[in-house]
């Protein structure tokens, strides 16, 4: 049967294979360089699409959620703060001074955010396993961690026993040799190997053995 021909101008679209592949490669490489600056130090000046500057932040470490955002500016510096460690049989509370009086451990661990950036820190504090033993619990217990934070998605989180047992996991009291800044979780925070930043509970208020 007869079909009507529809006239169209001759294709103006004469992109060559080289143009296609070169421009795609340039796009990929550009995004790669810009994004990699989040983690790879030497290309950091290029990191223009990075959500936050790694160098900015108290104690040389960036902050994702500030004390003000978390609503803890008063609670975090309250001298009456105690860390409550609850086991099925007992409850023990620790002041910051009593935590500092315990044997201190040092861990070099990164804050690795789910959003892709990461930054290394050197933390001092009480190894979580030592704290559990001091409170009469088994060092490999599964834990529920609670922050002073009000209505955050990560106020209450759980920590599998393997992290609690790892000697690198700390209830950190200091960062870079100086007392923890309130933006980094003063009076005490959790830092564990291999966990995303959102689970490195800041402004820790209780550790519950499950």
Partner 1 sequence: MRARPSTLESVNRLTQNIDDLLVPRLEAVRRGLDSPARTTRNAVVIGRLLGADLVVVLLTGMWSHVVQEPPTWLTLPTRPAGLYQWTQGAHVLLGTMMLPLVLAKLWVVYPRLFEWPPVTSLPSAVERLSVALLVSTGLLQPVIGLVNTFQWYPWPFPFRQTHYALAWVMAGAVLLHVAVKLPLVVGHWRAGGGSR
Binding site for partner 1 (CB under 8 A): 1, 3-9, 11, 13-17, 19-21, 23-24, 27-28, 31-32, 35-36, 38-39, 49, 51, 64, 107-110, 112-118, 160, 162-163, 166, 168-169, 192-196, 198-199
In the bound state with partner 1, the residue whose beta carbon lies nearer, of 75 and 112, is 112
- Residues near 60 by beta carbon (within 8 Å), at least 6 away in sequence: 119, 176
In the bound state with partner 1, the residue whose beta carbon lies nearer, of 15 and 80, is 15
Residue 82 burial (CB < 10 Å; 0-12/13-18/19+)?
middle
Q: Least distance to partner 1 from the beta carbon of 78, Å?
A: 28
Q: Identify the H or E element spanning 208.
A: strand 204-209
In the bound state with partner 1, the residue whose beta carbon lies nearer, of 25 and 88, is 25
Q: Least distance to partner 1 from the beta carbon of 12, Å?
A: 9
In the bound state with partner 1, the residue whose beta carbon lies nearer, of 88 and 196, is 196
CB atoms within 10 A of CB 159: 21
Q: Least distance to partner 1 from the beta carbon of 171, Å?
A: 16
Asked if residue 37 lies in contact with residue 43, where contact means CB atoms within 8 angstroms, the answer is yes
In the bound state with partner 1, the residue whose beta carbon lies nearer, of 179 and 193, is 193
Half-sphere CA count of 17, side-chain side, radius 13 A: 0
The radius of gyration computed from the CA coordinates of the chain, to the nearest angstrom, equals 25
Q: What is the dihedral of CA 68, 74, 79, 84, to 10 degrees?
A: -70
In the bound state with partner 1, the residue whose beta carbon lies nearer, of 36 and 84, is 36
Instruction: Collect contacts of 12-19 with beta carbons under 8 A, ≥24 apart.
Output: none
Residue 67, classed as helix, strand or coil, is helix
Q: Least distance to partner 1 from the beta carbon of 69, Å?
A: 11
Q: Least distance to partner 1 from the beta carbon of 105, Å?
A: 14
Q: Which residues pair with 132 in a beta bridge?
A: none
Q: Least distance to partner 1 from the beta carbon of 98, Å?
A: 27
């Amino acid at each position: 049967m007869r079909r009507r021909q529809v006239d169209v101008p001759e294709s103006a679209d004469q992109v060559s294979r080289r143009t296609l592949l070169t421009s795609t490669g340039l796009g990929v490489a550009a995004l790669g360089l810009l994004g990699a600056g989040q983690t790879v130090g030497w290309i950091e000046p290029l990191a223009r699409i990075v959500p936050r500057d790694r160098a900015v932040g108290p104690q040389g470490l960036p902050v994702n959620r500030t004390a003000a955002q978390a609503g803890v500016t008063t609670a975090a510096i309250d001298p009456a703060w105690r860390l409550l460690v609850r086991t099925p049989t007992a409850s023990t509370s620790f002041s910051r001074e009593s935590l500092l009086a315990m044997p201190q451990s040092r861990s070099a661990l990164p804050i690795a955010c789910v959003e892709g950036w990461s930054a290394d820190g050197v933390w001092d504090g009480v190894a979580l396993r030592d704290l559990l033993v001091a409170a009469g619990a088994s060092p490999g217990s599964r834990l529920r961690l609670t922050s002073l934070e009000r209505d955050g998605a990560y106020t209450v989180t759980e920590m599998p026993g393997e992290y609690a047992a790892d000697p690198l996991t700390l209830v950190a009291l200091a960062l870079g040799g100086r007392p923890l800044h309130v933006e980094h979780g003063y009076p005490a925070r959790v830092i564990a190997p291999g966990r995303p930043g959102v689970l490195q509970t800041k402004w820790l208020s209780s550790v519950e053995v499950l």
